[in-house]
Every structure is written in C-alpha cells, then in structure tokens.
Amino acid sequence: MTENAKTTPSTLPKGTVCWIVTNGMAGYEMQALGVAAALGVDPIVKRVAPGAPYSWLSPWGPAAPDPQITAPWPDVVIAGGRQAIPYARAIKKKSSGRTLVVVFQDPKVNPAKFDLVWAPLHDQLKGANVITTLTAPHRITEEKLKNASTDLASRYGHLTGRNFAVVIGGTNKVYDLSAEKMQGLAAKLRDMALREKVNLLITTSRRTCPQATKVLRETLKDVPHDLYDALSDPAEENPYPGLLGLCETTIVTCDSHNMVGEATMTGRPVYVVELEGGSPKFRRFIDALYVNNVARQFDGLLETWSYAPLNATQEIATAIAEAYAQKRAALSN
C-alpha cells in the first residue's frame, strides 16, 4: 500500500452524524442517499417544506423555522434542492462552522458559502470548492451489478442467449415520448433484436405513458423479450438495477440524466435514444458522453466498445471524506 493510499480517506469515521436535507424530491434524495452509503454512514433524512414567503425567497432568503432543523448539529450535512439551500447556510452559521456543509447541484448562490459543492459537469459551475463529474451520483452499486444474474434468474429463466437492457423514460419538461414517437423506436428495437438474435429486457418508468407502453408491447410481440411496466407492475419487483449488471448492452432514452449516467457504471456499451426536444444542459451532457466514447447514439445498428466505468458516487464520497478529515484536523489545532 502506498503512503498516499494510507492517508486518503474514502469513508467517514464510524459514528459520524450525517443529515440529508432536501425538499423531498426523489432525484435529490436518491443522489444524497447513494453518496451517504458510499461514505459508510446511515444518514438522517430531513425533508423541508417552507411556506410563503420563505419558499418564494429560496435559495437567497433566510431559512423558515423548522423544529427538525435544530441543535445538536450534525458532523456532515448534504443538502439538495432550492428549498434546502437556506437551511444549509443556517446550519453552517449556527454550528460555528463545525458542520461540514455539502450542497448537491448548483445552489444558485455563491458556492463559497458552503464547504463543498458538487455539480454535474454540464452545469458549468466553477469555484475553488466545486467538484464536478460527468455523471450524477446514484444508488446503483458494484455489488448490485455483480449479484444481478442471481437476483433475476427466476424472472428471465425462460430466455436463452444474449440479453440487452432497454430502459425507457417518458415525456418531461424538455423531451417528448408519445405513443406516436414510440412507434419508431419500437420498430428499431424489433428489427435489431431479430437481426442480432438478442433478448430485450425492458423496463419503463412512471413517466412512460400507457399508450406508448402498449405500442411497445404490441410491436415486440414476436421478439423474445420481457417488459416491466413501471405504472402497473409491483414496485418491489422492478428489475432495473439488476438489468444493468445482467445485460451486455444497455439502450436508454435520453430524457433522464440519472438513467443514462447509471448505465455508464457498467463499462459496457451504452446506446442513447435521442428524443425530440432537449435543452442546452442535456445536450452538453449527452455530447460529453459521446466525445469520451462512453456512449453512442442508438440508430438500430450495433457496435462493441469498452471504457473505464464511471462512478461519480464514489468520486464524490471520497471528496467529502477528504474535506471532512481536513476540517477535523483544522478544528483540532
């Protein structure tokens, strides 16, 4: 073991108290929970919902009184979302700087107000205490990927041969995936599956409209496949995490930064289905994956390539652990 490896922490000390403060939105919370798990801590989740006028003034104004945001202050707080930013500032001040305050995503205020800020590279946020990664943190772990074959054996036992994962999102603020648009995608998937003789292991999201799912199911009826419908199938049986580890290739729609990013943890081919619409931030994210040869656009044809798996979760956890160690050392002097 090198000297550097001995002195560079990647987890927090046992007994470290960590809060996660968000407005309850799943995206922010799942990112923070994934990093907390990588840090080796069991966090206390605090969901804030300030009323007017505090909600109007977030993230620039003061924090609304909240009985759950009181001393004793935690060792570390991870805050995400506009409504959580005033609380992050308040905790830093009221703890006299003893709490390591970490913010996820662009806080829309000066990053220097916090100890550490993480933002995805495509946000183009800069600062001395800002760390960026190409993809976002998540709760997919290497262990889940390794255990995928065992976990999903009963569901996919009737399918033999090569397996491709197909991860379908849906319409959001910037992209559109209607039943009409699904017809073209479903036809490409069908042609590819028949030509390459592969099984399609499909999961939709809660944003996938029922009409689009119906089109997909009907188009693929003569193709070996399994379709998990996120709107009607039991939530506890969602095979999504395991699919990434089980399948040799993942085809994923571009509407979710998290879905695309999670697929790149495999180091295996990731094809991105580009939908109509988009935004400059999404465009920068997808293009960066293409430029770095991590992902390629799905056009119905297949290639094989590899890349170093992306693991933003661990990168961010290591940065937090290092910052915490430095803060503890400074406070003890």
Is residue 2 predicted with pLDDT exceeding 80? Answer: no
One domain for residues 158 and 287? yes
Q: Is 305 within a domain?
A: no
Cα–Cα distance between 57 and 62 in angstroms, integer? 8
Cβ atoms of residues 156 and 225 within 8 Å: no
Cα–Cα distance between 248 and 245 in angstroms, integer? 8
pTM over 0.85: yes
Cβ atoms of residues 217 and 190 within 8 Å: no
Confidence of residue 105 (pLDDT cuts 50, 70, 90): very high
The stretch 192-201 carries a mean pLDDT of 96
Is residue 123 predicted with pLDDT exceeding 70? Answer: yes
Confidence of residue 333 (pLDDT cuts 50, 70, 90): confident
The stretch 60-81 carries a mean pLDDT of 97
If we measure between CA atoms, which residue out of 259, 328, 247, 248 comes closest to residue 289? 259
One domain for residues 22 and 67? yes
Is residue 274 predicted with pLDDT exceeding 90? Answer: yes
One domain for residues 53 and 198? no
Confidence of residue 8 (pLDDT cuts 50, 70, 90): low
Is residue 165 predicted with pLDDT exceeding 60? Answer: yes
Q: Is 308 within a domain?
A: no
One domain for residues 111 and 191? no
* CB-side neighbour CA atoms (13 Å) of 20: 22
Straight-line distance from the first to the last Cα atom of the chain, in angstroms, rounded to the nearest whole number: 28
Q: Please give the pLDDT value at position 96.
A: 96
Is residue 65 predicted with pLDDT exceeding 70? Answer: yes
Q: Please give the pLDDT value at position 269.
A: 96
Cα–Cα distance between 53 and 181 in angstroms, integer? 42
One domain for residues 105 and 152? no
Is residue 6 predicted with pLDDT exceeding 70? Answer: no
Q: SS3 for 175?
A: strand
Q: Is 288 within a domain?
A: yes
One domain for residues 159 and 288? yes
What string of DSSP letters covers 260-312? HHHHGGG-S-EEEEPPEE--HHHHHHHHHHHHTTSEEE-SS-------PPP-H
Cα–Cα distance between 213 and 285 in angstroms, integer? 27
Q: Which residues pair with 15 in a beta bridge?
A: none
Q: Please give the pLDDT value at position 7.
A: 57
One domain for residues 128 and 147? no
Q: Is 20 within a domain?
A: yes
Provide the mean pLDDT of the chain: 93
Is residue 281 predicted with pLDDT exceeding 80? Answer: yes
Structural domain tally of the chain? Answer: 2
Is residue 186 predicted with pLDDT exceeding 90? Answer: yes
* Residue 169 DSSP code: -
One domain for residues 17 and 148? no
Q: Please give the pLDDT value at position 234.
A: 85
What is the span of the domain harbouring residue 127?
3-134+313-332
Q: What stretch of H or E contains 327? A: helix 312-332
| Token pair belonging to 314 | 């661990």
Amino acid letter at 159? L
Q: Is 302 within a domain?
A: no
One domain for residues 171 and 118? no
Q: What is the CA radius of gyration of the chain?
A: 21
Q: Is 303 within a domain?
A: no
In the sheet with 295-297, reading across from the earlier edge strand, the strands are 225-228, 198-203, 162-167, 249-253, 270-273, 295-297
User: Tens digit of pLDDT for each residue in 284-321?
Assistant: 999 999 999 999 999 998 998 999 999 999 999 999 99
The stretch 10-17 carries a mean pLDDT of 95
Confidence of residue 4 (pLDDT cuts 50, 70, 90): very low
One domain for residues 37 and 69? yes
Confidence of residue 225 (pLDDT cuts 50, 70, 90): very high
Q: Please give the pLDDT value at position 280.
A: 94
Q: What stretch of H or E contains 47? A: strand 44-47
